[in-house]
Amino acid sequence: MAEFQTPVKKVNKALDEKITIPPSPFLNRLGYGTGVNVMQLVRSPRAGQIRSPWALKMLNKRVKPCRVYTERLQAEAELLQRMSHPNIVGFRAFSKGKILYLGMEACDLSLGDMIEKRVEDNVGPFVPRQILKVAADIASALDYLHTKMQILHGDMKSYNILVNGNFMVCKLCDFGVTLPLDEYGVFDKEKAGKAVYFGTEAWSAPEVINGGEITSKTDVWSLGLTLWEMMALLPPHTQIDEDFDYSMEEEMDDSVGDHFYERYGTRPPIPENISEQKYADPLALFYCCTETMPAMRPNAAHLAIAAEDMMTQTRNLIGNK
């Protein structure tokens, strides 16, 4: 983990409290990632005081013990302790004892889970206001990461965004594969050492796929594809191509896999059911975030301001009717 100049945030002593982790069958699984599970811990009341639940990121017992996962979890804990932002999930505790876990603020649902639920319920895409709220909150979190912490999130996607209530607040989570940035927002290879861009290919920017220069704008591209997810209700680049023959029996897996892979690092088309008039604002953000040339994309700060302005204009229009 690179050394950053941001002052270390003092952690409340209450965060060091010893907690009892019940067996996994008694924990509600909130999500999972490579080598880890995220479980919900409902904490018992203390002296009549109701205590908020925690989300515990723990190593997956089905995965063979791996130093990489352990070190990654510890590095994430150390990073979360140093950060304080309303749109970044809060640190709660970290233990290297018998059970290794990272305790975090628990939120209602991940955006990825919400997308899956909308597909199951057949209720259609998110409304523009909700998409703009995600853009504003998460862009604000990215601006903090890029400028104050000088790090790249490195794995922007819907499953790494948490939502409370009816989009009251959105928070960025999962900082296990962050990379250091220099003062110009460019990937700092010297500080990174052997670390490389990890990410998730379907959300990766052209410069990642083509081996170009990684910068803070790489996160902005991935956020743009996350906004697309909220309209398409699909992971990027998984939409069906009517001109492609999916019925091949022999070598089907390889052919289909190559077909989808060729789309990575490109701007996916707008879903047919999305009205360009109704979704004009979310589409404008999507287009500017997914410019092929990184220099043409807005930085996170400008994106947050644009999204906030769009939400304000929308509220004003509704209020004037």
Catalytic residue positions, numbered? 155
Helix (H) or strand (E) holding 96: strand 91-96
- Please say whether the beta carbons of 49 and 39 come within 8 A: no
- Rounded to an integer, what distance in angstroms lies between the CA atom of residue 139 and that of residue 163? 14
Using only the alpha carbons of the chain, give its radius of gyration: 20
Nearest residue to 155 (alpha-carbon basis) of 99, 72, 85, 233: 72
- Please say whether the beta carbons of 53 and 41 come within 8 A: yes
Q: Which residue has the tokens 């939120």?
A: 107
Neighbours of 175 (CB within 10 A): 23
- Please say whether the beta carbons of 307 and 298 come within 8 A: no
Task: Write the DSSP string, 274-291.
Answer: --TTTTHHHHHHHHHHT-
DSSP letter for 144, please.
I
Task: Order the strands of the 54-59 sheet from edge to edge.
Answer: 28-33, 36-41, 54-59, 100-105, 91-96
